[in-house]
Amino acid sequence: MRISDYIEQACANLWRKKLRTFLTTSGVVIGIGALVCMFAFGQGIQRNITDQFNKLDLFNYVNVVARNSGGGLSSHDPDDPGAEMDNADVPPGQAKQDQPTLDARFLEEVTAIKGVIAAFPEMRFPAQIRLGDREEFTLVQVLSATASQSGLVPLRAGVAYVSDEPNELIISGLFLRRLGVKEPEMAIGREIEVATLTLDFSLGRLFRMAFPTGDQTLPLARESYRFKVVGVAQRMGFGGSMPVRSDVYIPPGAAARMHKLALTSIWDFFKPAGQAADYSMVSVKVASPKDVELVKKELESRGYRTFALMDQLQEMRTGFLIMDMFLIAVGMIGITVASLGIVNTMVMSILERYREIGIMKAVGATDGDVQRIFLFESGAIGLLGGLFGLFLAGVTSFVINEVINAFMARQGAPRMAYFNFPWWLCLGAVAFSILVSLLAGIYPTRRAARVDPVVALRHD
Amino acid sequence: MNRDDEAFIETTRLSKVYVVGEVEVTALRNVTLSVARGRLVGVTGASGSGKSTLMNLLGGLDTPSSGSIRVADRQISELSKRDLALYRRNTVGMIFQSFNLVNAYTALENVAFPLLFAGVAKRQRCDRAVELLNAVGLEARKDHRPTELSGGEQQRVAIARALVNEPQILLADEPTGNLDSGTSRQIVEILAELNRRRGLTIVMISHEQDLLREFAHEMIALQDGIVVVRKATADPN
């Protein structure tokens, strides 16, 4: 028999039983649709994360902390014998004399390392941000004009500040909404009040501390500065360790003029005086991800602790794989049910056409011919199910994507494609659908091939 | 000896035993017979005498329990399942009492059906089927389905289908069993004509002994799986 005849026979036989073919194929369509949708969602999430990291050059960063730094990356780890040795002969709360520090000199030294493009410290301080009659608390990040213009902070409106000196700031769209501004463009050019905390050892304050009356007793005062909004930042799509993560960015010159307590946690109170002047962390930007390992080694040899997202990439990939496997497992439930439907349909078809099989054999069909005729029918169900399943997945994912984006837009998040349909997924889905259908057809078609023509020709 | 007188179909001590549950039923018992090329042989016998079993064995639809079948110098009883299928496809054409047409197909598609398995192209299948339907007088009914045809028309479609692969042997298992006497005669006449004109070797089972005797060269009577009578008739030609 010719291949074209098998195809024609399969189509004609399926067309003869339209309703049954429609119902069976619908099962495959739903199964494949669900599987593809879930897998495309997993792919979309992976693509968005890696794209965003790539877009923000996050794989090009190495975060550096001093070994005796109070928190974050260098927090005490009882399983790290190195950490114990580092601090073995140092009294608690006191840095070793020869411990490397993160200061202005370090910034100069690190930029001299081959492959390093820039280095900037993480400097953040708590502040009250007031716009009109609304006031919100946040941590303000100091970011150089060079860094702000590098695209590190993607903007929804306005521009990055061009100098390190003026009282200008970039604010996130989400934070603006908390301050009552829904349209980012409306905020450009407006003045915002940034209020910091300072120590207040005036007599009046000391008196109130000595004789507390129920209100504030700490020796703290508030100082206000006026800043002009020049840019509105997009919301960072995903979390993780990033070199910048704040709602408000100001240039270093303006920050230097402000009186403020640079406390980000209660532990900052217990830092030694000298160390308090250092940076808690420095972000080092390298030319390409290939330089990350070399720069890390160099810095670690100088006694610093480092962290790079590149290190996490393999773990992320493992995580993605587990997520994919989970989504596939859920999607396979539908496919399993659909394949049972195919088995049922094929068995029914063979029982109905029992006499026809006898006639086929009487006029010269081999067992293989009979088996292939039914296998092509089974495969045709798979092909149709795969194609329409792909279409269903496309429509469903489009609707879900629109709903998520509509919801996320209200949160100030940028528009994203949460589903990804790479060509291999589309082809693979159709091929998988055909494969599953063929596997489901093996038992019924073998049964058809084994039909005794003498018995079948007597069958009513 | 004339080549036409040589045994074209030959069975030797052919037996077929069916096992039904724990009971063995002997359908054919040591049947030895031969049919010369180009002969029309009539097979008669009561129900259960083994006629259809003999036909199924000669047609390669079934395999013997013992004995041998030789057709055109080939041992049919020793063929594999696949070779038996090829034998049915290329050497034998079969006609049945109940026509055994595929109801979903038109007369044309039914006639062309065996060519599908022979790998013949669609256009050639159609041309050949039209030619044969024309030969049996049914060209105008080619697009009709079996349910839209009379019994005689259905049997003529079945004859056309049996001839489509140009077989050497035609096996007819009670082809007139479901037909009235007038139509039965027409069908037997068509088969006799094929035998005369094309030299087709035909083995035909029928209860209508008189009709069969009128056209057959030779008559075989079966009883309880044994050949009880075998005799030549007056030459119908």
Among chain A residues, CA nearest to B52:
A454
Percent of chain A residues past pLDDT 70, beyond the cut = 81
Q: Is the pLDDT of residue A212 over 70?
A: no
pLDDT, residue A164, reads 83
Residues of B in contact with A453 (CB under 8 A): 61
Mean pLDDT throughout A433-441?
90
Q: Which residue has the tokens 């044969």?
A: B132
Q: Does the beta-carbon distance from B117 to A364 stay under 8 Å?
A: yes
- Asked if A367 lies within 8 A of B85 by C-beta distance, the reply is yes
pLDDT of residue A268: 56
Cβ neighbours of residue A327 closer than 8 Å, sequence gap 6 or more:
A38, A39, A41, A42
Taking contacts as CB-CB distances below 8 angstroms, the residues of chain A near B121 are: 2
Q: What is the pLDDT of residues A79-123, one digit of tens each?
A: 444 444 444 444 444 444 556 778 778 888 888 888 888 787 777
Give percent of chain B above pLDDT 90: 31
- Find which of B110, B116, B120, B145 to mutate to test the A interface (most A CBs within 10 Å of its CB): B116
Report the b/e string of A366-402 with b at 16+ CB within 10 A: bbebbbbbbbbbbbbbbbbbbbbbbebbbebbeeebe
* Domain segments of chain B as ranges: 102-162
> Taking residues A423-431, what's their average pLDDT?
91
Is the per-residue pLDDT at B230 higher than 80?
Answer: no
Q: Given an 8 Å threshold on Cβ–Cβ distance, is A364 in contact with B114?
A: yes
Residue A155 β-bridge partners: A233
User: A-chain residues within 8 Å CB-CB of B59?
Assistant: 362
Chain B: give the shortest CA distance to residue A351, in Å: 15
Asked if residues A434 and A379 have their Cβ atoms less than 8 Å apart, the reply is yes
For B16, how many CA atoms within 13 A lie in the half-sphere containing its CB? 26
Q: Is the pLDDT of residue B2 over 60?
A: no
**pLDDT score of B123 more than 80:** yes
Quick check: B89 and A1 CB within 8 A? Answer: no
Considering chain B, what percentage of its residues have pLDDT values greater than 70?
A: 96
Average pLDDT over residues A396-408: 91
Whether B85 sits inside 8 A of A360 (CB atoms) is no
The Cα of B237 is separated from the nearest Cα of chain A by a number of Å equal to: 30
Write down the pLDDT at residue A99.
64
Tell whether B124 lies on the interface with A, counting CB pairs under 8 A: no
CA angle A384, A388, A390 (to 5 degrees): 120
CB nearest to A365's CB, from B61, B104, B117? B117
Q: Which residue has the higher pLDDT, B83 or A265?
A: B83
Whether chain B has a CB inside 8 Å of the CB on A453: the answer is: yes
Mean pLDDT of chain A: 80
Average pLDDT over residues A13-31: 89
**If you average pLDDT over residues A212-241, what whole number do you get?**
71
Q: Which of B104, B122, B165 sits opposite A16 (nearest CB)?
A: B104
Q: Is B106's Cβ below 8 Å from some Cβ in A? A: no
Does residue B60 belong to the interface with chain A, where contact is any CB pair within 8 Å? no
Assign 3-class secondary structure to chain A: CCHHHHHHHHHHHHHHCHHHHHHHHHHHHHHHHHHHHHHHHHHHHHHHHHHHHHHCCHHHEEEEEECCCCCHHHCCCCCCHHHHHHHCCCCCCCCCCCCCCCCHHHHHHHHCCCCEEEEEEEEEEEEEEEECCEEEEEEEEECCHHHHHCCCCCEEEECCCCCCCCCEEEEEHHHHHHCCCCCHHHHCCCEEEEEEEEECCCHHHHHHHHCCCCCCCCCEEEEEEEEEEEEEECCCCCCCCCCCCCCEEECHHHHHHCCCCCCCCHHHHHCCHHHHCCCCEEEEEECCHHHHHHHHHHHHHCCEEEEEHHHHHHHHHHHHHHHHHHHHHHHHHHHHHHHHHHHHHHHHHHHHCHHHHHHHHHCCCCHHHHHHHHHHHHHHHHHHHHHHHHHHHHHHHHHHHHHHHHHHHHCCCCCCCCCCCCHHHHHHHHHHHHHHHHHHHHHHHHHHHCCCHHHHHHCC
Distance between A362 CA and the closest CA of chain B, angstroms = 7
Range scoring the smallest mean pLDDT among A51-60, A305-314, A442-451, B106-115:
A51-60
Query: Cα separation of B85 and A357, whole Å?
Result: 13
Q: Please tell me if residue A5 touches chain B, with a CB cutoff of 8 Å.
A: yes
Is A359 in contact with B122 (Cβ distance < 8 A)?
no
Q: Which one is predicted more confidently, A279 or A70? A: A279
Q: Does A352 touch chain B (CB under 8 A)?
A: no
| pLDDT beyond 70 at A231 | yes
Please give the Cα distance from B57 to B32 (Å, whole number). Answer: 13
A161: left (phi over 0), alpha (psi -120 to 50) or beta: beta
Q: Is B40 left (phi over 0), alpha (psi -120 to 50) or beta?
A: beta
Residue of A13, A349, A355, A363 to mutate, testing the B interface (most B Cβ within 10 Å of its Cβ): A363
Regarding beta strands A134-142 and A248-250, do their DSSP bridges make them parallel or antiparallel, or are they unpaired? parallel
pLDDT confidence of A368, banded at 50, 70, 90?
Answer: very high
Residue from the list B86, B104, B116 with its beta carbon closest to the beta carbon of A1: B116
Q: Do B81 and A367 touch (CB under 8 A)?
A: yes
Question: What are the distances in angstroms from CA A319 to CA A42, A323, A325?
Answer: 11, 6, 10
pLDDT at A78: 44
What local confidence, expressed as pLDDT, does residue A243 receive? 54
- Partner-chain contact B117 A9, CB within 8 Å: no
B176 in Cβ contact with B188 (< 8 Å): yes
Q: Mean pLDDT for chain B?
A: 87
3-state secondary structure of B46: coil
Average pLDDT over residues B64-72: 90
Nearest to A5 among B82, B94, B116 (CB): B116
At A391 the pLDDT is 95
Strand pairing report for B201-205 and B218-223:
unpaired
Continuous H helices in B26-69: 51-58
3-state secondary structure of B100: coil
Between chain A and chain B, the number of residue pairs with CB atoms below 8 A apart is 67
Compute φ and ψ for A100, nearest 5 degrees: -65, 145
Non-local (6+) Cβ contacts of A104 within 8 A are none
Asked if B165 has any chain A CB less than 8 Å from its own CB, the reply is yes
Q: Which of B164, B223, B213 is nearest to B192 (CA)?
A: B213
Which pLDDT score, from 0 to 100, does residue A386 have? 92
> pTM for this one?
0.67
Tokens of A224: 């206000």
Residue scoring higher pLDDT (B3 or B44): B44
Minimum Cα–Cα distance from B123: chain A residue: A5
How many C-beta atoms lie closer than 10 Å to residue A266's C-beta?
Answer: 7
pLDDT of residue A71: 44
The verdict on a CB contact (< 8 Å) between B62 and A454 is yes
Q: What average pLDDT does range A207-216 have in this prediction? A: 62
pLDDT for position A239: 38
Quick: pLDDT tens for B172-211: 988 888 778 788 888 888 888 888 888 889 999 888 888 8
Q: Which tens digit of pLDDT belongs to each residue from B38-61?
A: 889 999 888 888 888 999 999 999
B56 touches chain A (CB under 8 A): yes
For the segment A261-290, the average pLDDT, to the nearest whole number, is: 67
Residues of chain A numbered 357-416 and touching chain B (CB < 8 Å): 358-369
Report pLDDT for A279. Answer: 74
| Distance (Å, whole) CA A33 – CA A337 | 13
Calpha distance B200→A246 (Å, rounded): 96
Which residues of chain B make contact with A355, given a CB cutoff of 8 A? Answer: 100
Q: What is the DSSP letter of B229?
A: E
What would the mean pLDDT of A297-318 be, rounded to a whole number?
82
Check CB contact under 8 Å for B122 and A5: yes
- State the average pLDDT over residues A269-294: 72
Give the highest mean pLDDT range of A48-52, A322-326, B160-164.
B160-164
Choosing among B61, B81, B103, which should be mutated to test the A contact, i.e. which has the most A CBs within 10 A?
B61
Residue A225 has pLDDT above 90, yes or no: yes
- Please tell me which of A15-19, A328-332, B143-147 the model is most confident about, judged by mean pLDDT: B143-147
Banded model confidence at residue A359, pLDDT cuts 50, 70, 90: very high
CB spacing of B165 vs A364 below 8 angstroms: yes
Mean pLDDT on B158-180: 87
The pLDDT of A267-277, averaged and rounded, is: 54
Q: Using CA coordinates, name the residue in chain A closest to B116.
A: A1
Which amino acid would we find at residue A193? E
Q: B177 or A193: whose pLDDT is higher?
A: A193
d(CA A270, CA A333): 56
Task: Enumerate the H helices of chain B as residue ranges.
Answer: 51-58, 81-90, 107-117, 122-135, 151-163, 181-198, 209-215
Measured at the alpha carbon of residue B66, what is the angle toward residues B40 and B11, in degrees to the nearest 5?
Answer: 20
SS3 B71: strand
